[in-house]
Amino acid sequence: MAQVELSPADAERVARAEAWIAQDPDPETRDELVAIVEAVRRGDDAARADLADRFDTRLAFGTAGLRGAIAAGPNRMNRVLVAQAAAGLAAYLLERAEPGEMPSIVIGYDGRKNSDVFARDSAELMAGAGVRAVLLPRLLPTPVLAFAVRHLGASAGVMVTASHNPPDDNGYKVYLGGSSHGSQIVSPADAEIAAHIERVAAERTVPDLPRGAYDTADESVVDAYVAATAAVASAPRSSADGATRPAPRVVYTAMHGVGWETFARVIDAAGFERPVVVDAQIAPDAAFPTVSFPNPEEPGAMDLSFARARETGADLVIANDPDADRLAVAIPDIEAAEGWRRLTGNEVGLILGWRAAEEAAARAAGDGGAEGTLACSIVSSPGLEAIARAYDLEFRGTLTGFKWISRAPGLVFGFEEALGYLVNPGTVRDKDGISAAVAFLDLATRLAAEGRTVADHLDAFVERFGCYASGQISIRVTDLSQIARVMAALRSDPPAAVGGIRVERIDDLAAGFGDLPPSDVLRLVLGGGGRVMVRPSGTEPKLKVYLDAVSTDGTVEQRRAAAAATLAALDAGMRALVEG
């Protein structure tokens, strides 16, 4: 087919695409882009739109690092973009280093497509730039990388993962050592690193970037993580006379990710029996063949786990997401369609927070009271603050993300409702689905020894602290401007009531609020203790609405019924506002 005359904008995009092709070391993405350019030259409108989407903007580097679909172009994840990110991060570390100091970085990767390639590229380019680079010995969970940053005393860390994103995605998560203690980057570091990356992209090509030799960490790093994480468990597995105590029967799934090998070693070291596994999901598989979306929160993602639990008569299901930084827990429930109910992130966070508060009180026995801080994101359940008050602990509400939660002073436990839990801040300053699983198994084992179940413990929580019910509305969009329009409408015409419940005040966090940095979040404080939070997702094209209701009057059943009724009213009211 004959070529057509290109518009100036298309001609400019084609020129940039051809420059990209010339520096791309990956034949797959190079050939992909060649085909798109050829189609644009033939006048293919779909190809023109595709090229514009890939080249009119860059994949933003923010406090979540980079994350996007694997494909060619600056608005996708690929070897060119990763090379620019590695060189830019190296420049940032060198700029911050003391005179004569050689900064260092440790790099990890999971089982997603190209994770190992992106990690090795990063290690070679870091080394070539003058940064000591250490690559973890094989694909491993994200928490092992977060641990390694502190354990090795590195200046920074990179984890190549897209966590629970769709199968075609990958990402690049950055941690800082030193005074950040292995936490993820926050502002202004994100903007400073992004500026270096953009400078590299504008001034250098990938073949021009020097490469060097990197080190590979030995197994002692993994051994140290295993030992530290096993120590999270405290419940004895046998009685004083040596008899084995009752223990819950557990089913585990790795969701086609990298969690099982490390988790199995940790539970062996902690003295737990190994769980029954979901065989079809236990080994890393970048295609994620049994799930349409590898996120335990998504409908259907845990169906194979529930089937395995029914087969084996299990008491508990435990799931990690693909990079094992999140934890999902399910318990038997005769009223649920599958006979099993996945606990919400808030339910797990509250009972793990209660466990942490009890441990803080036990450590302080005779020393004048418990010390420490319980922290959660502002969109997570307000029940954690009630626990902190009951145990005279500090409480800190933070912006969403463990980059903020992990920085709470005096932290002893932190969580966010999206299945993230930080139970061992002295070891890992990030959410850790493996240590959280150990903590939950420890709790469930203690309960079993007392003849109680997790469901009984949830009842005990409601009796002690009240019923904190939560819900969420998640609206996935293809046009991000739709989210901006909804947020603008809520700000310009705020509701006086939601679901018939009066709005007492609206906190707009766009300019900061109290000690919280600015964030695109609206908090609606309602009569009767209800609360609604609205924000764009930081990692996916979604608008998220978080609903909270509380009831402290009456029996456990009455408290649950009252909170559920309020939650249903809030859900209907907010859907009318944001989906209309």
What's the confidence (pLDDT) of residue 540?
A: 74
What's the confidence (pLDDT) of residue 176?
A: 97
Identify the three-state secondary structure at position 234: coil
What's the confidence (pLDDT) of residue 235?
A: 59
Q: What is the mean pLDDT of the chain?
A: 94
Mean pLDDT value across residues 141-165: 97
pLDDT at 487 over 60: yes
pLDDT tier, 479 (very low <50, low <70, confident <90, very high otherwise): confident
Per-residue pLDDT of 517-571, as tens digits, reads 899 999 999 998 899 999 998 767 889 999 999 999 999 999 999 999 999 999 9
pLDDT at 579 over 60: yes
Q: Is beta strand 340-342 parallel, antiparallel or unpaired with respect to 327-332?
A: antiparallel
DSSP 8-state secondary structure symbol assigned to residue 528: G
Instruction: Give Cα separations from 463 to 332, 444, 460, 477, 560 (angstroms).
Output: 21, 19, 5, 40, 10
Mean pLDDT value across residues 79-96: 98
Q: Which of 235-239, 316-320, 381-385 has the lowest mean pLDDT?
A: 235-239
The tokens 């200046």 sit on which residue? Answer: 155
What's the confidence (pLDDT) of residue 580?
A: 65
- The tokens for 508 are 């707009």
Mean pLDDT value across residues 277-282: 98
pLDDT at 242 over 60: no
What's the confidence (pLDDT) of residue 73?
A: 98
What's the confidence (pLDDT) of residue 365?
A: 74
Q: Rounded CA gap, 95 and 150, in Å? A: 21
pLDDT at 237 over 60: no
Per-residue pLDDT of 333-357, as tens digits, reads 999 888 999 999 999 999 999 999 9
Q: Rounded CA gap, 525 and 457, in Å? A: 29
What's the confidence (pLDDT) of residue 3?
A: 85
Mean pLDDT value across residues 452-461: 98
- The tokens for 143 are 């928490």
Per-residue pLDDT of 12-40, as tens digits, reads 999 999 999 999 999 999 999 999 999 99
pLDDT tier, 201 (very low <50, low <70, confident <90, very high otherwise): very high
What's the confidence (pLDDT) of residue 477?
A: 85
E strands in 201-273: 215-216, 250-253
What's the confidence (pLDDT) of residue 478?
A: 83
What's the confidence (pLDDT) of residue 2?
A: 73
Active site residues: 163
What's the confidence (pLDDT) of residue 243?
A: 56
